[in-house]
Amino acid sequence: MVHMETEVLLDAGAVSRCRRRVHLEADPSMRETTLAPPDPAAEQRMADAAAHRLEIRRRLVEAIRREQAAARGVSAEGGGGEEAGWVTVPRELPAGERVRITEQALADGASYIWGALLPADRRGHRRGGAELLVRSGAGYLPVLVVRHRITDPGAGAVTTAPNQLDPARAVVDEHRKVRSQPRDQLRLAHLRRMLEALGLAAHQPLGGVIGLDADCVLWHDLAAPTWPGGRSALAEYDIRFADRVAVAQAAATGGPALAEPSRILDCRACPWWPTCESALLAVRDVSLVVRGEDAMELRRAGVSTVDKLAALNLDDEPPIVWTSGSFPDAVALARAWLADLTVVRRVPEVTVSRGDVEVDVDMESFGESGAYLWGCLLSGADIGLPQGYRSFVTWEPVPTVDEARSFAEFWAWLRDVRERTAAAGLTFRAYCYNAMAENRWLFGSVERFAGLDGIPAKNEVQSFVDSEEWVDLFRGVTEQFLCSRGKGLKVIAPVAGFSWRDPEAGGEASMRWYRDAVGMDGAVPAPDQRERLLRYNEDDVRATQVLRGWMSGPANEIPYMGDL
């Protein structure tokens, strides 16, 4: 019999999570460990997801009410409470109580169980719940409600209409294709295995997902060979889950660890990073400078530490085939790390395109909802316009058509600057840091607000973006420097001597400030947070100004990788 202290019960997330994290979470000796504080952006995402779930629930209940009223031949108006066959399991209740209500609803054969928390499957080592269980024949189908996109324009997804929870009505969609979201499918597979353990899985191995747009219900056939190697989602899940159970059991029972720390992309937002970082620093692990699969391969090749990587001879055969970066870059990064250098030159001479008239541009957006602020810093030769920072902003919560007004004003000002510069026979350059974000919203605004006052034609924006006048400093940094601590503006600009006035400045914090600034969800707008956002945006454009000034001269004095 398994002792409770060492009992392993994993939720669906374990199959997509870092294996070391599964180990740490199952290791009884780690229970008192201090974790990194919760990321405010993650907390915000959870709050947004909860609001999204509530809205979907409202829509589903309403649709079912109308359907049931139509079947009875009565009006659906004025109905209160929930509909026949619909059970809501309140999320705020303790887990034991939620499980009890779910079990009762299952026993009663409820048609829909919202917020279901299934009893732990102790033999299978599983725990978990679904946003919705839908009765299908003698069993149930899991349906997820998620806040990300689940389809793309195209064809081939199997969908039903929004609010239609009967997969028998599903058709092959002519307007949507499935967007790859492996975690959703693995979570559905986990829930199916839990329902199987209860003898309550529907005959067909299907699972539904309602996404951010909630414009359809997407149905996955969990037994279809849609995964690499011709595997089904269920087969892939089974392999991964068995591995995670082994990792957790080894950790729970004090056996030899089956997963060691190694820096990967997920580490950035992982609460265990302080624990893993000190373990990696203690052994000077190679993943501190080369993360992901390349670090694993290097360890297998015997290059397990930063020191060993730094000591490799570039004239020798590379020890592995690199999946990202290159052999010389990796060795230089290791040498930079040992010398405590944030940035080293990878080119003999750093260059950046400059103009007589220059504008630094930074756009602020709120998720997928809109770009509410375009900040610009005008400098260089006098063209009869005030120099310095100015902003084009809407403080109506996005999405709002007022965004079209602020975007049109931004574009008109930029066009005026370019025309005056050209008329004076001068050269013009506009700078941003990572043009992908700005370009996305330049084109997105042109498309969304086409035909409204002052919105430019797409080809006008296209010819600006394609021109030498639009300079992406992030690209310049990526091509000309090796950065041992990341390439974000917040890392690189301080090397150039810049610092932000707001100690909390960052993209994630700005999301919180924005919600307060516009009074999202009916709150009173906070003018001080508007000021804070403008100051932050101004500092971002001042940062790119300082960065390009540095790249035009002083950057050539930092060490060159060939000299390390």
Spatial separation of the C-alpha atoms in residues 388 and 545, rounded to whole Å? 11
- The answer to whether the beta carbons of residues 518 and 443 sit under 8 Å apart is no
Count residues near ligand SF4 (CB under 6 A).
13
Of the pair 60, 186, the CB lying nearest ligand SF4 is at 186
- Contact range with ligand SF4 by CB under 6 A, out of 77-85, 259-267, 295-303, 519-527: 259-267
Shortest gap between Cβ of 251 and ligand SF4 (angstroms)?
12
Shortest gap between Cβ of 269 and ligand SF4 (angstroms)?
8
Among 155, 191, 158, 187, CA closest to 172: 158
Of the pair 36, 95, the CB lying nearest ligand SF4 is at 36
Window 507-526: residues binding ligand SF4 (CB under 6 A): none
Binding mask 4-23 toward ligand SF4 (x if CB under 6 A, else -) reads --------------x-xx--
DSSP H or E run through 359: strand 357-366
Of the pair 276, 288, the CB lying nearest ligand SF4 is at 276
- The answer to whether the beta carbons of residues 126 and 190 sit under 8 Å apart is yes
Secondary structure of 113-179 in HEC code, one letter for each residue: EEEEEEEEECCCCEEEEEEEEEEECCEEEEEEECCCCCEEECCCCEEECCCCCCHHHCEECCCEEEC
Please identify which residue in 237, 272, 389, 500 interacts with ligand SF4, judged by CB under 6 A.
272
Please identify which residue in 270, 320, 408, 493 interacts with ligand SF4, judged by CB under 6 A.
270
Window 343-382: residues binding ligand SF4 (CB under 6 A): none
Shortest gap between Cβ of 491 and ligand SF4 (angstroms)?
19
Among 363, 270, 359, 289, CA closest to 327: 289
Of the pair 122, 268, the CB lying nearest ligand SF4 is at 268
Please identify which residue in 227, 273, 443, 560 interacts with ligand SF4, judged by CB under 6 A.
273
Shortest gap between Cβ of 185 and ligand SF4 (angstroms)?
22
Of the pair 70, 283, the CB lying nearest ligand SF4 is at 283
Of the pair 24, 132, the CB lying nearest ligand SF4 is at 24
Spatial separation of the C-alpha atoms in residues 473 and 166, rounded to whole Å? 51
One-letter amino acid identity for 111?
Answer: S
- The answer to whether the beta carbons of residues 194 and 118 sit under 8 Å apart is yes
Shortest gap between Cβ of 244 and ligand SF4 (angstroms)?
13
- The answer to whether the beta carbons of residues 111 and 137 sit under 8 Å apart is no
Shortest gap between Cβ of 489 and ligand SF4 (angstroms)?
24
Of the pair 21, 405, the CB lying nearest ligand SF4 is at 21
Of the pair 262, 365, the CB lying nearest ligand SF4 is at 262
Shortest gap between Cβ of 186 and ligand SF4 (angstroms)?
17
Shortest gap between Cβ of 404 and ligand SF4 (angstroms)?
41
- The answer to whether the beta carbons of residues 270 and 276 sit under 8 Å apart is yes
Please identify which residue in 48, 266, 293, 402 interacts with ligand SF4, judged by CB under 6 A.
266
Shortest gap between Cβ of 149 and ligand SF4 (angstroms)?
25
Spatial separation of the C-alpha atoms in residues 146 and 49, rounded to whole Å? 7
Q: Quick count: other Cβ atoms within 10 Å of Cβ 386?
A: 7
Please identify which residue in 142, 208, 261, 456 interacts with ligand SF4, judged by CB under 6 A.
261
- The answer to whether the beta carbons of residues 277 and 264 sit under 8 Å apart is no
Of the pair 271, 325, the CB lying nearest ligand SF4 is at 271
148 HSE (CA, 13 A, CB side): 10
Shortest gap between Cβ of 280 and ligand SF4 (angstroms)?
8
Torsion of CA 447, 404, 54, 164, to 10 degrees: -30
Give the burial string for 195-215 (b: 16+ CB within 10 Å, else e). Answer: bebeebbbebbbbbbbbbebe
- Contact range with ligand SF4 by CB under 6 A, out of 71-79, 217-225, 257-265, 437-445: 257-265
Please identify which residue in 105, 133, 251, 276 interacts with ligand SF4, judged by CB under 6 A.
276
Residue 140's DSSP bridge partners are: 135, 201
Give 351-354's long-range contacts (Cβ < 8 A, gap of 24+).
351/480, 351/551, 351/552, 352/471, 352/473, 352/476, 352/548, 352/551, 352/552, 353/429, 353/468, 353/471, 354/429, 354/548, 354/552
Of the pair 135, 263, the CB lying nearest ligand SF4 is at 263
- Contact range with ligand SF4 by CB under 6 A, out of 59-67, 183-191, 226-234, 263-271: 263-271
Shortest gap between Cβ of 317 and ligand SF4 (angstroms)?
29
Strands 151-153 and 176-178: antiparallel
Q: Which tokens hold the place of 38?
A: 């919760």
Shortest gap between Cβ of 110 and ligand SF4 (angstroms)?
38
- The answer to whether the beta carbons of residues 544 and 360 sit under 8 Å apart is yes
- Contact range with ligand SF4 by CB under 6 A, out of 99-107, 221-229, 267-275, 434-442: 267-275
Please identify which residue in 267, 334, 341, 383 interacts with ligand SF4, judged by CB under 6 A.
267
* DSSP assignment string, 168-212: GG-EE-SSEEE---HHHHHHHHHHHHHHHHTT-B-SS-EEEEE-S
How far is C-alpha 291 from the chain's CA centre? 19
Q: Does 105 bind ligand SF4 (CB under 6 A)?
A: no
User: What value, to the nearest 5°, has the Cα angle with vertex 176 and ends 171 and 177?
Assistant: 95
Shortest gap between Cβ of 20 and ligand SF4 (angstroms)?
4
Shortest gap between Cβ of 270 and ligand SF4 (angstroms)?
3
- Contact range with ligand SF4 by CB under 6 A, out of 67-75, 220-228, 260-268, 377-385: 260-268
Contact residues for ligand SF4, defined by CB under 6 A = 18, 20-21, 24, 261-262, 264, 266-267, 270, 272-273, 276
